[in-house]
Amino acid sequence: MKKISLMAAAATVLLGASCTQRPDMRENPFFARWDTPHGVPPFDRIRPEHFKPAVEEGIRLENAEIEAIASDTSAPGFENVILAYDNSGQFLSRVMAVFNGLNNAETSPKLQSVDEELTPLLSRHNDEIALNPQLFDKIKAVYDRKDDLGLDARQTRLLEKIYRGFVRSGAGLNEADKAKLKELNERISMLSLRFGKNLLADNKAFVLTVADPEDLSGLPESVREAAAAEAKSRGLEGKWVFTLDKPSLIPFLQYADNRSLREKIYTGYLKRGDNGNENDNREIVKQLVQARAEKARLLGYETYAHFVLDRVMAKTPENVYGLLDQVWAPALERAQEELAEMKALKASEGTGNDFASWDWWYYAEKVRQAKYALDENMLRPYFSLETVREGIFTLAGRLYGLTFRPLPDAPKYHADNQVYEVTDRDGSHLGVLYLDFFPRPGKRGGAWCGSYRPQAYENGVRVAPVSTVVCNFTPPSGDAPALLSPDETETFFHECGHALHGLMSNVEYRGLRGVERDFVELPSQIMENWTTAPQFLKTYAKHYRTGEPIPDSLIVKMERSAKFNQGFMTVELLAASYIDMDIHTLKDTAGLDIEAFQQKKLGERDLIPEIEPRYRYPYFQHIFSGGYASGYYSYIWAEVLDADAFEAFAETGDIFNPETAASFRENILSKGGTEDGAVLYRNFRGKDPDRTPLLRNRGLIR
């Protein structure tokens, strides 16, 4: 199948607009062909008021497509039922891809208001399709005859996936239970929307303003400059402002000598969504958990976790807990050793042996400097944003033959955007990549990869994707460029791994693009392995002023300290994974006190009091508004895969081995969900993954 330019592809999928458009349609970019470079969204012309009429038209078009399938009087078959369903709803999907991307990266009160209108509308629309008895009868008729239709493996998998999706969506329920399910789905969608909106508001509301320069003791100059710039932007010139955005929060916890201020900012972080104000998420969490549990029971599952895990690699809660338990014991032991070291250091300073969670980053940094003579600020000059970006592009070129060329004329949704055309080894167009790096009021926290257009096929030709990587990195300060911490550098590699997965996708059917939630982190997490590989570091980590590569002495220090603080990092990750599973394996949610429940469960596992889980329920966005409910364990599950997969490269003696890279692309990155993740992995590795590399990489076995 040949590839197609995105401009031509855009023309093939547009757009349901008729020759007699209403005036509001003629002014709306969603009702016109996009004459942008490679058909990217015309961000410069899209306004909040364009979304609702476009969504309403998308719903109308999809309803007509579904009605045509359901009312077709010819015999149900793959082409007129399964393929027709797989191709339906493209206009609506196109609109929502843009809306969701903007609402996460560049939201506004107007967009949030539109979201509140669209969420119940879309919930009802999706349910009307999923619970359409005539449509399901057609799908079931094809499914019941699947062995007699001469389908190939991909067609069979698409049929099975669609059929099971309808069953999981309640297509087999009686009318009363369908009505109940619709009500639950709408409630869940609105609660998730409110959770995310509250968290964004609470995150932006917290400000730590410092007026006394003595309170800045211990903070590096670059951190002070960034805080001064933040203060100036808020009309507080002459002061310093720290926020809960990670580039501000983490350095403060690492370096600020003022313990009471460390406590204040960390408490602000822990109390998000839990302040008894209009942004409080505690009641929302309780209602969400209850509604999810009711939905699972209605669909015949023991708990919501059983419902979610039934369609992913883990399959059961028991399998998830089995992995978590295996890693928890050695991680907790290692964290206790780390705590003892830090307490001893604190006592030697004459400040007592009392130790709190807001002390961990501060004394971990002191131990790192004392034990390994390594200060994070010694590394930052070698990891400017531009240097790291070019390192990632170089790695993608060495492994997969990709090239990244700036697209200066592409529309942007924010001035900070960087846009690149991605071409394949043979020079053909592969996709477009948007990059968005720094915190701002309209952007949610964290880092993620999204898609403004996923890869598809139209009339036998490939429609290339438009991917986006969004982060909240340390911004430039003074006359220096943005200098990334090791953690930010790893995050950049991670999210670009997701982007490469999307860009190199080559899947014929839309319904087979997605992979299991606990498999999707493999392509991202494997990229992290190259971040600090010595033979790669020398090629991309260069001083932003001199251009000199990172010296061997620093690389040695990085290698020696690579497993430092891994007990803490593993424990906080696993603690969050546990509480996600714990609350979603509840059978009875009556009278649930989420704080008491969390403390009880973590206490039963002997969590060190000085370590908080990475997320607490009121601000656990991944599971309450981010699609990871009963799935946060995926990060450690996928780390088993990525550590073992990187061994495949290391075993060749060349971490850039072209044959291994070609196999990873062919068997993992290009395949989407055309087979189960376990099968795809075995096709690449020739065996099931070994957990030993994970434990070794985290320093949990000696």
d(CA 470, CA 499): 11
**What single string gives the DSSP state of each residue in 160-177?**
HHHHHHHHHTTTTS-HHH
Report residue 48 as tokens: 């909040």
Q: Is 420 left (phi over 0), alpha (psi -120 to 50) or beta?
A: beta
Strands (E), 73-214: 208-210
Among the listed residues 294, 365, 495, 675, the single catalytic one is 495
* Block residue for tokens 């992290």: 528
d(CA 192, CA 149): 41
Cβ contacts of residue 580 below 8 Å, gap of 6+? 620, 622, 623, 628, 629, 630, 631, 632, 633
H helix intervals, 310-419:
317-348, 360-372, 376-379, 385-400
Q: Is 627 left (phi over 0), alpha (psi -120 to 50) or beta?
A: left
Identify whether 495 is a catalytic site residue. Answer: yes
User: 602 φ, ψ to 5°?
Assistant: -70, -30
Cα torsion through 265, 270, 273, 279, rounded to 10: -10
d(CA 403, CA 390): 11
Cβ contacts of residue 45 below 8 Å, gap of 6+? 29, 411
Report residue 457 as tokens: 């096929």
d(CA 238, CA 454): 47
Q: What angle, 0 to 180 degrees and rounded to 10, lies between the N-to-C axes of helices 51-71 and 90-105?
A: 150
Known catalytic residues? 495
